[in-house]
Amino acid sequence: MRLTRRFFLGGLSVAPLARANYSAATGTPDQRRLMALQIRNNAATFENELPLPDHPANGDEDRYTSHIANFSKGLPHNAQGEVDPQAYGALAAALTSGQWSDFEAVPMGCPDPAQRRKFTNPESGAAFSLMGADSHHLSIPAAPRLDSAEQASEAVELYWKALARDVPFTRYDSDPITQAAAADLSKMTDFRGPKAGGKVTTSTLFRGVTPGDITGPFLSQFLLKPIAYGPQLIDQRVRTVAPEIDYLTDFASWLQIQNGFHPSVADQFSDNVLYIRNGRDLANWVHNDVLFQAGLNAINVVLDGAGGKAPLNPGNPYVSSLTQDGFGTFGDPYIAALVPEVAALALKAVWFQKWYVHRRLRPEEYGGLVHNRVANKINYPLHADILNSDALAAVSKKYNSYLLPQAFPEGSPLHPSYGAGHATVAGASVTILKAVFDESYVIPNPVVASADGLSLVPYTGPDADRLTVGGELNKLAANVAMGRNFGGIHWRTDYANSILLGEEVAIRMLMDLKLTYNEEFEGYTFTKFDGTRITV
């Protein structure tokens, strides 16, 4: 599908995104200045005249005056873990006014500033961007309601992810925990993860929903293959945390963390440096990464037998040039710079959704509702699918509570769950890389981590010759986003809808950049997350 004004506007008449008709190279200084102004004006006018999207929330904030369905971590809570309504109201008022002084006056649950965790940057959701779409000009669907079957099924998946953190990805087919997880999720009323033959299987378990996600190994090749940073060749082994150590499984420590205290314990790292082999390793990776690290690494991954990086997108004007190579435009330095650039735009977009639209509760907060519903008979409106699940019974047996075990001592960050920052940045970064590289290129010599994580071994599955750059980039976005879910801090819909938000951020940035080139450039053609083709 070719990207046009009609694609975005549905026929709305606006000035086209077009270059001026005089030479950028040979014009006078005054002409150059006017051309720069025209480019900025055209881009701004185009964005300004797009229809404003709706920002639908799920209605839970109004439905439950106790705010049990909304993010409240860091505010004061009562003995049951319910937020103080006046404190929640003060936070909502600050988000409405946007005034620094109102944010500073929000009552916090931890009285000692030295022990207190702070909210993560709510005001960035109100910041403007000078390239691409304004954060308020992008939207995601409403999150599932607290009482819905979809919300319950997502919780069941997270309980199983917690139980399966130490199961090697290569043993999902044979391990009793992952077999039980697939069977339990198959019974859910409204589970929207990938299935085979209408059932969740160990081959689809905990995977993403985009093209390439269920092809090949669980982990993307871009999290396994070595990385070339100039003369440095870096393998992708990581510092790992000790197995079988989970957090916030007793109500007292859970409540203290909800009130915004720093945790009293820290990550317990093992002595091993290993390739990512299981959900705990993946969760630890996204716990400590630089936010756009996966995308930046992917640019520099050495593909064995390919003589370096994958080929460039055929739309790159220098692919067919007889006399020129790209560098500051369309070349390696330019491509590398696009990833952190789009990440900054993506964060503004998703922070607006988090703080100013949805304020969705974190999974650990939902786990508190589950615990109080079952253990303390508080009649919270939770769907029967979570209450009757095999996952909940298994967690209760292992931890003697119904709380959602967390992989991180502090649980989630202090910002709402929906959308997800990692997922939005991953979606944006992957979209950039699918645009600049040849996504159809088949990655040679695919690998998987051994069950002990000590080495990489050849992947020899029947689909080993179908691992394309595009499919493995899609999988990379899923791995990064769903790795946060392995930590217990995000929902499946946080991933699924946030990568689409990041994709749109990247597309709109690429549209603006297209105005600035001097090269003869028709645009990049690539495949979106929904499988459709687009030219930007």
Helix 492-514 to helix 332-352 angle (10° resolution) is: 130
3-state secondary structure 18-35: CCCCCCCCCCCHHHHHHH
Report how many helices (DSSP H) and strands (DSSP E) the chain contains, helices first.
17, 8
Let me know: does 391 contact 314? Beta carbons within 8 Å.
no
Verify whether residue 383 is a known catalytic residue: no
What is the distance between the alpha carbons of residues 356 and 378, in angstroms, rounded to a whole number? 29
- Residue 270 three-state SS: strand
- Reference 241, options 262, 271, 264; nearest CA is 271
How far is the CA of 101 from the CAs of 176, 224, 260, 500, in angstroms? 54, 47, 20, 34
Instruction: Write down the catalytic residue from 67, 137, 358, 422.
Output: 422
Q: Prior bond to 419 cis, omega within 30? A: yes
> Any catalytic annotation for residue 415?
yes
Of all helices (H) and strands (E), which one includes residue 241?
strand 238-241
Q: Cα dist. 482→206, 218, 366, 502 in Å?
A: 8, 11, 18, 15
Cβ-in-10-Å burial (0-12, 13-18, 19+) of 73 comes to: buried
Q: How far apart are CA 53 and CA 216, in angstroms?
A: 37
Report, as residue numbers or ranges, the catalytic residues: 415, 422
